[in-house]
Amino acid sequence: RKEVEQDPGPFNVPEGATVAFNCTYSNSASQSFFWYRQDCRKEPKLLMSVYSSGNEDGRFTAQLNRASQYISLLIRDSKLSDSATYLCVVNSFRGSSNTGKLIFGQGTTLQVKP
């Protein structure tokens, strides 16, 4: 089982749609969670950290469910410029120690169409 799993998609949605991405992680000791965005042939860029209480940044909302080991990202009112690959990222633990490394999911591709 992969440590971080995502549905690779692609998700094809019209402009203005609301789309949700899900991610599961296997290590219950994980403490830090992130969503990164990666455009084609570019480096990943931090979109938002994910906090236990859930957090929102404009059209983007991230949720964390520790009991289910599940992270989500909701994008409202999709724009053409939202087309990218969204990477679910979790910090890595060895035993009970945080290694400081990040583990990346394979990414979910979003294509927003006019």
Partner 1 sequence: GAVVSQHPSWVICKSGTSVKIECRSLDFQATTMFWYRQFPKQSLMLMATSNEGSKATYEQGVEKDKFLINHASLTLSTLTVTSAHPEDSSFYICSARREFSYEQYFGPGTRLTVT
Per DSSP, the three-state class of 58 is coil
Residue that the structure tokens 């583990």 belong to: 103
With respect to partner 1, which residue has the nearer C-beta, 95 or 114? 95
Q: Decide: is 17 part of the binding site for partner 1 (CB under 8 A).
A: no
74 near partner 1 (CB under 8 A): no
Query: What distance, in Å, lies between the first and last C-alpha atoms of the chain?
Result: 37
Which residues contact residue 101 at a Cβ distance below 8 angstroms, ignoring those fewer than 6 apart? 91, 92
Question: If binding is defined by CB under 8 A, does position 105 make contact with partner 1?
Answer: yes
Q: Which residue among 23, 25, 44, 73 contacts partner 1 (CB under 8 A)?
A: 44
Radius of gyration of the chain, Cα coordinates, nearest whole angstrom: 14
Least distance from partner 1 to the Cβ atom of residue 32, Å: 4
Is 31 or 65 the residue whose CB approaches partner 1 more closely?
31
Site stretch for partner 1 (CB under 8 A), options 11-19, 21-29, 65-73, 99-107 = 99-107
Strand partners, 61: 56, 74
